[in-house]
A and B are shown apart, each in its own frame.
Chain A
Amino acid sequence: MSPTFSFPYYQNRPHVPIVLEYGNRRQRALPLLDSGADYSLFHKQFALDLGLTWSEGEQRSFDTAYTTNLAVREFQLSLDLEGSRFPAPVCFAEIPDLFHRPLLGRAGIFDKFRITFSEQEQLVEIEPIN
């Protein structure tokens, strides 16, 4: 049986701890777990701090709930969610608000875990799928 990780909501929202890895650099973060987002999205500062070369990221354009053609750069990173390590695409953009609103979206992540949101208990539970 796989372990289930249970995290209380942070600020009344489901956030989960994740480690972004690139080379020998690691970054621990607590992004919002967003089942409505196709991709994970962090501020550009996170990419530069990890040592990523901005120009080497794949240029992409996203539509969001409130804007269109948002320019992002996509990188393939190694992620670590409480000991489960896996590769996943992570996007970065230079939007000021994104600095304090990082998102963990579905691509490369939601297919690897059974995820349960409990609004009543203010908990998010994550079970790796073997």
Chain B
Amino acid sequence: MIGTAIHLARSTRQVYYEEAFILTHMTKIPVLTDAIQTKHAGEQGAVVNGKFVAFGKSLQELYAKAKAKGYKRDQVMIVPIPRPNVSYI
């Protein structure tokens, strides 16, 4: 239905269908700040709704910290924190 936005909420992610399904925004991709990257490079971040909520050097630690803050495992997206100023080949 052109011009009609249908908003569906699926547990932790927001789904927007716009302009007759031409463009859809779903999982929110986080923005990594310099401060977070400097502090947590090499770890994994737990992201919920596009925001970092916990960090860990192992998945076990990551999920435990996220759980301590009230987030369920299925809500958490595991996001790598790369080292700053490193290029990949």
Contacts and interface: CB of A to CB of B under 8 A. Distances in A.
Interface in B45-65: 47, 58-60, 63
A15 B83 CA distance: 16
Contacts of B32: 10-11
A83 to B, nearest CB: 8
Interface secondary structure of B, over-half rule:
loop
Nearest to A26: B74
A106 interface: no
Given A29-B77, A30-B80, A5 B24 contact: yes
Contacts of A7: 27, 29
A49 B60 contact: yes
A112 B48 CA distance: 27
Contacts of A15: 29
A45 B88 contact: no
Interface in B19-56: 20-27, 29-30, 32, 41-44, 47
B27 A46 contact: no
Interface in A8-52: 8-11, 13, 15, 17, 26-32, 45-46, 49
Given A13-B88, A66-B89, A4 B22 contact: yes
A10 B30 contact: yes
Given A1-B21, A100-B43, A8 B29 contact: yes
Interface of B: 17, 20-27, 29-30, 32, 41-44, 47, 58-60, 63, 73-74, 76-83, 88-89
Interface of A: 1-11, 13, 15, 17, 26-32, 45-46, 49, 65-66, 82-83, 99-102
